[in-house]
Amino acid sequence: MWIAENWKDYEVIDCSKGEKLERWGKYLLVRPDPQVIWDTPKTEKGWRKMNGHYHRSAKGGGEWEFFDLPEQWQIQYGSLTFNLKPFSFKHTGLFPEQAANWDWFSEKIKKAGRPVKVLNLFAYTGGATLAAAAAGASVTHVDASKGMVTWAKENAVSSGLKDAPIRWIVDDCVKFVEREIRRGNHYDAIIMDPPSYGRGPKGEIWKIEDAIYPLVQLCGQLLSDEPLFFLINSYTTGLQPAVLSYMMNTVLKKYHGTIAADEIGLPVSSNGLVLPCGASGRFER
């Protein structure tokens, strides 16, 4: 498992009975997590002194309950600064487990010895975009949500990357890739963090099991002759690491690189165990 273990401003303190207790900077949040099927004693005092609690509804969705939590605050990861705020469906604007991947591809970019063009699809609030830009890459950031792209720009400013070579695109990711192929553009690295289910700006339906392989095939046409890396993240239970590995091998075989896939996770500070948080597939040369 690839573990995001270099955080100072974030930690999973404990997890039990479908929930995790997390520290985001100086604030404690309790949020639901479907992976947490165990029922261990909630002895950590944070369970009783939380600043925010997301309650899952039996009908789907849920709502936040706040106890002395600001509307927005910041945390750091290395040189990066992220603006956080609790919003619908339990999220805060950051997936901390992805730091395991940020560290991996940042080293590859720094050691490449050449200019690196990165395409980040389903780029959300820009964690991977900023990590790649801070490592020296030029990045094209694509997300269908204008609000998320605006948030990512705010994170770039907070991280001192306002003038970094980042191209911000609000668009349906599949349609953007198709246009880039027609334009003859190429990238040295591609990152994609597709949702399990979603809609594009014009109501296009995205279902990952049906759409991911055709998109990976399209993205294969965008890679430069000597690609540096290709990263796919999945939070969908059915897309296990072995599935990501098989899919990437079929599309990227001609580039004669190395492909590995594994779970990603976060250490739990109260007991030394690791909370699984999805899977990633990595191609590298």
Complete domains list, the chain, with CATH: 2-84 (2.60.40.1180), 96-284 (3.40.50.150)
C-alpha distances out from residue 183 to 32, 35, 177, 186, 221, Å: 43, 42, 10, 9, 12
Q: Which residue has the higher pLDDT, 6 or 201?
A: 6
Q: What is the mean pLDDT of residues 69-88?
A: 96
pLDDT at position 167: 98
Question: To which residue do tokens 């690189």 refer?
Answer: 257
Confidence of residue 117 (pLDDT cuts 50, 70, 90): very high
**14: pLDDT strictly greater than 70:** yes
Confidence of residue 187 (pLDDT cuts 50, 70, 90): very high
C-alpha distances out from residue 125 to 197, 215, 245, Å: 18, 21, 26
Report the distance separating Cα 169 and Cα 187, nearest Å.
15
Long-range contacts, 249-258 (Cβ 8 Å, 24+): 251/213, 251/216, 251/217, 251/219, 251/220, 252/220, 252/223, 252/227, 252/283, 255/223, 255/227, 255/283, 255/285, 256/285, 257/227, 257/283, 257/284, 257/285, 258/283, 258/284, 258/285
Q: What is the mean pLDDT of residues 70-80?
A: 97
Is-contact 228 108, C-beta < 8 A?
yes
* Contact partners, residue 115, CB within 8 Å, separation at least 6: 138, 188
Q: Compute the residue count for the chain.
A: 285
* Contact partners, residue 248, CB within 8 Å, separation at least 6: 216, 230, 232, 259, 261, 281, 283
Confidence of residue 238 (pLDDT cuts 50, 70, 90): confident
**37: pLDDT strictly greater than 90:** yes
For residue 29, the SS3 value is strand
Confidence of residue 267 (pLDDT cuts 50, 70, 90): very high
Confidence of residue 200 (pLDDT cuts 50, 70, 90): low
- Cα Rg of the chain (Å, integer): 19
**246: pLDDT strictly greater than 80:** yes
pLDDT at position 174: 93
**32: pLDDT strictly greater than 70:** yes
Confidence of residue 201 (pLDDT cuts 50, 70, 90): low
Tell me the percentage of the chain whose pLDDT exceeds 70.
99
pTM of the model: 0.95
Q: Which residue has the higher pLDDT, 164 or 200?
A: 164
* Token pair belonging to 156: 């770039």
* Contact partners, residue 155, CB within 8 Å, separation at least 6: 80, 81, 82, 83, 125, 126, 127, 130
